[in-house]
A and B are shown apart, each in its own frame.
Chain A
Amino acid sequence: MSFDIIIAGIGGQGTILLSNIIGEAGVIEGRSIRSAETHGMAQRGGSIECQVRIDQEYGCQIAPGNADLMISFDLLETARFAHYMKQHGTVVTNSEYVLPTSVFAQSLPDPGAGILLSAFDTQNVLSIDARRLAEQAGTILTQNVVLLGAASWFIPLNESSLREAISCRVPEKSKEMNLSAFDLGRSATQSS
């Protein structure tokens, strides 16, 4: 059985880099990895999801109801992809969300955080302020690595492999900043 991770977010937020780091960490451990990404037209500012499957030899796509872990950059997207989660799976989500322009253009109501979180009942949901932690690490751009740190307790890969993967996938000059973002995220969920 593979360990299936769904990464939800908005095109441009750094979902692919997050997926790359997890995949690279898997390969460092000699594990078999399959992942799916969104490129091209579909990624311009819209809802996107990446999927990473650890110990999977076949396809890259996770069936709805089967994801073990979700890492989400945006609470609205967390709710949108809720149906991918298996019962008793874990959800690590940013507590913030960006209202899509459709809300303003079509005068739709803002669903509100409470409603969004009600998409989950049996899952373990951890909501963190990824923006604040990323800013603390140095830049909002490290949000993806903050979220990775927060989710790292639940990923069946060694912390050292994840750290090594961060080092080889982020630009040399922002390596230290990203590693500290990872630590900040990781301590945010330590007691969970």
Chain B
Amino acid sequence: MKSHYLLGNEAIAHGCLEASVEFVTGYPGTPSSEVVDTLRVYNERWYHIEWSVNEKVAFEEALAASWCGLASLVTMKHVGLNVAADPLMTSAYTGVRGGFVILCADDPFAHSSQNEQDSRRYAAFAKIPCLDPGSVQEAHDLVKDAFSLSEELSLPVIFRPTTRICHSKSDVILGPVSPSTPRGEFNRNPSQYVVIPAHTRLLHKKLGEKQERVAELLIERGYNHYKLKASGEKKRAVISGGISTAYVREVIGDDLSHAIITAYPIDETWLSRFVEKHDEIFIVEELEPVIEEVVRQVAPSTTVVYGKKTGHVPYEGEFTAARVASFLQSAGFEAKEFPSSPSVFALPNRPPILCAGCAHRAAMFSMRAVFKNAIFPSDIGCYTLGIQLGTVDTTICMGAAITVAAGIALSGETRDVVCTIGDGTFLHTGIQGLLNAVHNGANIVVVILDNRITAMTGHQPNPLTGVTATGDESPRVSLEEICRGCGASFVETISPNDMAQFREVLKEAKSRSGVRVIIAKQACVISEKRARIKRPTYAVSKNICTGCKACVKFGCPALELTGEGFCVITELCSGCGLCMQICPIAAIQREVEE
């Protein structure tokens, strides 16, 4: 069979096409975004697909489509499930009709996230199955299964790949795409779909009764399996789950038994049959001790269990084969030796930064200049990188800039409170915060960094972009009207690239009170580049430049200070012209086209 070289998320998307997915929603979030991004550009698309405004919205729409009989998929990152937790918990009660798969990508090591929560806990909390693939191929195969599993159990199923599945590539064997002609039909059934107390009490009971069938079906399907090999004096075994299985297989020898967990809940009878045959068990899983807790529950007192609770495996971060080898060795298990690596010497660090010409930098630079000692709550998006400009004092979760600003202002803090939130994040969960701040009389400045797109996760369209996920035109909503509708009295829109005017607006806002909104509107430089919008070029005149560093301190990566003591503009320049406005002695000039 021919293999394809695919990104984990592309392989997962293909698995959904093979499973005849009929309805797709999602909210972008690293590392989950490429699943919808792959499905939305599939040419012979037969399903509805959309980027929704937030995860709760996405979840509820896909759930409803499943109630109408469609095979439905909703995608998000782990923290997105917090936003969708409300419908999640009760969707287990109502159950589903068409297969309903919740793709929730976890991010151990928080590569691009605010925490390292483990979605397997959500599945246990909601009493629904969770599939946790250990490789790209397995992710492809399992997501396909997830739809039929969900349909057969009439329960939502959480499919939980991690970063090293989503964003790793591998040779993958694909199956045939299986088109469908979706036509949803809602069957009225209030006792199932209207969760008034009288109904929900019964539904909860039914959910409990389903659990036995869940365990049976997961065993029938053979998702969790083991190889018995232990021989010799001490019978030793390793149990691993998810991506950790790949690391374990890379480092252990042939003399250890190995149980592989890819589905939850783990059946205790099945597990105890494996555990009781061994004297020592070592458990390898990233993040929470989900497997370990069940093993400890079923292990006879004569079996020694090593894992997180014994300090042999950390709760935090992601693993690698080399780390897993050292965990195993710490409990006397044999594992592959890795040569120690030479030490690294100190080098100037290169953290991720805002792009050259990014308008967020311009907006934050001016905010800092006008509101010198203000408190700057911020939010989640590219602009969180503004921490390097000193204008990000808090970030907790999507939409929390305005609410945190209001809380600080209402706490009695006397300094100005000026928060930043991106356009996508404002539409996600920022609007409620604005409404509340106006209603409850908070005294804050809200700067909406409006670049017309959800940039950080790969430029997904949102209701300001004017197109949908499939490229169809949609009405552009007006941020001004939303803000005025929420009751904000001061609403001004201005490009932060016009530094002088932008600062005037900031000063005007500073002189007033109440909820003041400034919409810092300027298209994302990456979008502009893709649209081939040409901007002028700029150059430093080395005869005038004194090397005062006013421009390089702006932090734009296109500006460098040379060894000869003057500044230069490199090819990274996107032509925003901000450095020309910053230079105190007019050493930077727009170049005349020849």
A17 interfacial contact with B, CB 8 Å: no
Task: Give A106 to B457 CA distance when docked, in angstroms.
Answer: 29
A130 interfacial contact with B, CB 8 Å: no
0/1 per residue, B363-395, Cβ < 8 Å to A?
000000000000000000010110010000000
B487 interfacial contact with A, CB 8 Å: no
- B30 in contact with A27 (CB, 8 Å): no
Interface segment, one of A95-103, A151-159, A175-183, A184-192: A95-103
Q: Of A20, A41, A108, A111, which contacts B384 at CB under 8 A?
A: A41
- A110 in contact with B344 (CB, 8 Å): no
Chain B contacts for A23, CB-based, 8 A: 5, 169
Q: Of A38, A59, A100, which contacts B250 at CB under 8 A?
A: A59
B544 interfacial contact with A, CB 8 Å: no
- A36 in contact with B342 (CB, 8 Å): no
Interface segment, one of B206-214, B226-234, B266-274, B345-353: B345-353
B343 interfacial contact with A, CB 8 Å: yes
Chain B contacts for A26, CB-based, 8 A: 5, 171
The interface on chain B, measured as residues whose beta carbon lies within 8 A of the other chain's beta carbons, has a size of 60
**Shortest distance between the CB of A94 and any CB in chain B (Å):** 15
Interface segment, one of B140-148, B410-418, B496-504, B550-558: B550-558
Q: Of A30, A32, A44, A102, which contacts B354 at CB under 8 A?
A: A44
**Shortest distance between the CB of B469 and any CB in chain A (Å):** 18
Task: Give A42 to B322 CA distance when docked, in angstroms.
Answer: 23
Q: Nearest A residue to B343 by beta-carbon distance?
A: A83
- B321 in contact with A63 (CB, 8 Å): yes
Task: Give A44 to B351 CA distance when docked, in angstroms.
Answer: 8
- Chain A 119-175 residues near chain B, CB threshold 8 A: 119, 140
**Shortest distance between the CB of B512 and any CB in chain A (Å):** 33
B456 interfacial contact with A, CB 8 Å: yes
**Shortest distance between the CB of B61 and any CB in chain A (Å):** 25
B176 interfacial contact with A, CB 8 Å: no
Chain B contacts for A7, CB-based, 8 A: none
**Shortest distance between the CB of B149 and any CB in chain A (Å):** 26
Q: Of A44, A57, A99, which contacts B385 at CB under 8 A?
A: A44
- B246 in contact with A63 (CB, 8 Å): no
- Chain A 24-42 residues near chain B, CB threshold 8 A: 24, 26-27, 30-42
- Chain B 512-570 residues near chain A, CB threshold 8 A: 549, 552-553, 555-557, 559-561, 563, 570
Nearest first, the 10 A-B pairs at minimum CB distance are A40-B30, A64-B341, A63-B322, A65-B341, A46-B352, A40-B112, A100-B350, A60-B168, A59-B246, A58-B250
> What are 22 A-B residue pairs whose CB atoms fall within 8 Å in the complex?
A32-B171, A33-B169, A36-B164, A40-B456, A42-B352, A45-B352, A47-B349, A47-B350, A59-B243, A61-B320, A63-B338, A64-B338, A77-B350, A87-B339, A98-B557, A99-B348, A101-B353, A102-B351, A103-B348, A106-B348, A108-B348, A116-B347
Residues on B facing A (Cβ under 8 Å): 3-5, 7, 30-31, 34, 111-112, 135, 164, 167-171, 243, 246-247, 249-250, 320-322, 338-345, 347-355, 382, 384-385, 388, 456-458, 549, 552-553, 555-557, 559-561, 563, 570-571
- 17 more A-B residue pairs beyond the given contacts A27-B5, A61-B321, with a C-beta to C-beta distance below 8 A: A20-B5, A26-B5, A34-B168, A37-B169, A39-B34, A40-B31, A41-B352, A41-B385, A58-B246, A59-B250, A63-B341, A79-B345, A80-B347, A83-B342, A101-B557, A105-B555, A119-B344
